[in-house]
Homo-oligomer: A and B are copies of this chain.
């Protein structure tokens, strides 16, 4: 059918969409998995050993199974490299479907953002590494763009949600937490103010315990935990909020 035949379409066109079977494309699910390691935001990537993009680095993931949901699929596939219980957060990012994004054939890809809390060290295959995001190696396909989307999403959500729970271990001191925030945001975060902001927003609470000071002295640090372990919007935008009346 000629898409210029708008007049005809205007009367009858809308109904034919769910008929026929149409072309089917391969669909894969990928994940940008972040973890903060040694005070740096790192992403889990593996090195491709064969074309296309041989030698470049790629995001983990793979083909969507015939009877799987999208989130279900990426969880399953990540379980082959990251202990699935270690994924503290998972959310969908974007779907890319440029006809030529994969030179070997039309493939759509849905990317997810996954987070692993700091402090654990999942066993990963030999071709797989955690790489610091600021020094991203040459990436296959459009995977670099996906890492960029994930980084922007994480930064934004750190500002108005409790997503820090997914970066931090179950308990932490404020100076540790401020280092996680610094790594993820890319700029300094003062522990003293971060404490007040997150306390006022009800995101964190004191555990009552504290950590002995190190060999160089200093006051012992109080331990905190996040009050919730799932995503919550704690601060709607400070702008254009509804009238208080």
Determine the distance from Cα of A150 to Cα of B160 in the docked complex, in whole angstroms.
19
Determine the distance from Cα of A117 to Cα of B156 in the docked complex, in whole angstroms.
28
Contact of A69 with B94 at beta-carbon distance under 8 Å, contacts A17-B62, A80-B6 already known: no
Residues of B within 8 A of A240 (CB): 158-159, 181, 185, 189, 197
> Is A229 at the interface (CB under 8 A from chain B)?
no
- Docked-complex contact A123 and B25, CB < 8 angstroms: no
- Docked-complex contact A13 and B125, CB < 8 angstroms: yes
Determine the distance from Cα of A61 to Cα of B18 in the docked complex, in whole angstroms.
10
The oligomer's copy count stands at 2
Determine the distance from Cα of A15 to Cα of B50 in the docked complex, in whole angstroms.
8
Determine the distance from Cα of A166 to Cα of B110 in the docked complex, in whole angstroms.
27
Residues of B within 8 A of A128 (CB): 14
- Docked-complex contact A95 and B98, CB < 8 angstroms: no
Interface hub of A28, A81, A108 (most chain B Cβ within 10 A) = A108
- Docked-complex contact A94 and B97, CB < 8 angstroms: no
With beta carbons under 8 angstroms apart, the residue of B16, B67, B92, B126 that contacts A94 is B92
Residues of B within 8 A of A76 (CB): 3
Residues of B within 8 A of A89 (CB): none
> Is A24 at the interface (CB under 8 A from chain B)?
yes
> Is A106 at the interface (CB under 8 A from chain B)?
yes
Determine the distance from Cα of A50 to Cα of B17 in the docked complex, in whole angstroms.
11
With beta carbons under 8 angstroms apart, the residue of B105, B126, B187, B197 that contacts A242 is B187
Q: Which of A1-49 contact B (CB under 8 A)?
A: 3, 6, 9-28, 46, 48-49
Determine the distance from Cα of A110 to Cα of B95 in the docked complex, in whole angstroms.
8
